């Protein structure tokens, strides 16, 4: 756990790398669910240090990727622990966005792109998508691929017929940040795609589960039948609350239903 105002960047980096290394061992975590809780709470401590270093950001993303390899049953509080893990990832990317650089990585279970965008170079919208090659069978679950998960400076260029998941942010939304004082040549935008729903499953019984007859041994699990994608546009002092009329953020999903 990181504590104290005198914590150095090097100490935060070392802590983040240690957490990632522990999370690499899936069997070790699943032997004792308390170890998963320790990883998540330690991750929150690292993110809380506020370090923007890519050497902290990369291990945080790797840890999230590893947690998504776990069976959902090993998350004691289901949605609560998953939500904390997602919040930690978003928090670290927000930390990173206070630096001058860009960051992009695609691992098996999670892809992240955090960039400073020149709003003047964007077409109708800025988009992030997971697409599959021509003549390729689309996979709703399974390892993400770096070449297939990428940023589009014009959302109109996305081949929707070959898209598993996408999100498009209209240029007018980027301009809102400019109106709030953000430099339009360097608008901080983050896209995150999750390849499965391990961190997003409910911890409480669903209505269907509660209505099952006691003698019925079948189980019902509420699941997200697609990949999950998000866009984050905010700075330390600015959040977008309401979208302009006629300027929706558009998402597309290919499901396995």
Whole-angstrom distance, CA of residue 121 vs CA of residue 114:
17
What pLDDT sits at residue 218? Answer: 45
Better pLDDT: 207 or 250: 250
pLDDT more than 90, % of the chain: 54
The token duo for 37 is 């809780």
| Cβ partners under 8 Å of residue 79, min gap 6 | 200, 201, 202, 203, 204
pLDDT in tens, 82-128: 899 999 999 999 999 999 899 999 999 999 999 999 988 999 999 99
Whole-angstrom distance, CA of residue 60 vs CA of residue 64:
6
Could you tell me the residue ranges of all domains in the chain?
1-99, 101-257
Highest mean pLDDT among 56-70, 72-86, 146-160: 56-70
pLDDT in tens, 14-26: 999 999 999 999 9
CA atoms within 13 A on the CB side of 137: 3
Whole-angstrom distance, CA of residue 88 vs CA of residue 83:
9
Closest by alpha carbon to 128, among 246, 39, 252, 24? 252
Model confidence at 250: pLDDT above 50: yes
Q: How many CB atoms within 10 Å of residue 27?
A: 6
Closest by alpha carbon to 172, among 230, 122, 117? 122
Model confidence at 205: pLDDT above 80: no
Whole-angstrom distance, CA of residue 99 vs CA of residue 105:
17
pLDDT in tens, 122-169: 999 999 999 887 776 666 666 688 778 999 999 999 998 889 899 999
Q: Which CATH architecture has domain 101-257?
A: Sandwich (2.60)
């Amino acid at each position: 756990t990181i504590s104290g105002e005198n914590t150095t960047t090097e100490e935060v980096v070392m802590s983040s790398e240690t957490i990632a290394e522990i999370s690499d061992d899936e069997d070790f975590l699943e032997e004792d669910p308390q170890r998963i809780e320790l990883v998540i709470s330690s991750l929150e401590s690292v993110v809380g240090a506020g370090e923007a270093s890519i050497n902290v950001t990369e291990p945080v993303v790797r840890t999230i990727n590893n947690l998504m390899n776990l069976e959902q049953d090993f998350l004691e509080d289901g949605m609560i622990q998953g939500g904390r893990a997602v919040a930690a990832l978003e928090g670290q990317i927000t930390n990173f966005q206070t630096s001058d650089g860009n960051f992009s990585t695609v691992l098996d279970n999670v892809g992240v792109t955090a960039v400073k965008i020149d709003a003047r170079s964007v077409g109708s919208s800025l988009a992030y998508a997971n697409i599959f090659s021509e003549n390729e069978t689309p996979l709703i679950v399974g390892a993400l691929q770096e070449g297939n998960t990428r940023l589009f400076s014009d959302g109109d260029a996305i081949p929707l017929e070959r898209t598993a998941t996408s999100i498009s942010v209209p240029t007018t939304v980027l301009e809102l940040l400019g109106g709030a004082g953000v430099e339009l040549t360097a608008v901080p935008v983050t896209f995150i795609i999750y390849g499965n729903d391990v961190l997003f499953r409910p911890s409480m019984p669903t209505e269907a589960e509660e209505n099952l007859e006691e003698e019925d041994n079948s189980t019902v699990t509420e699941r997200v039948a697609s990949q999950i994608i998000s866009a984050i546009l905010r700075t330390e002092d600015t959040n977008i609350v309401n979208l302009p009329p006629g300027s929706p953020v558009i998402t597309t999903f290919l499901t396995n239903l």
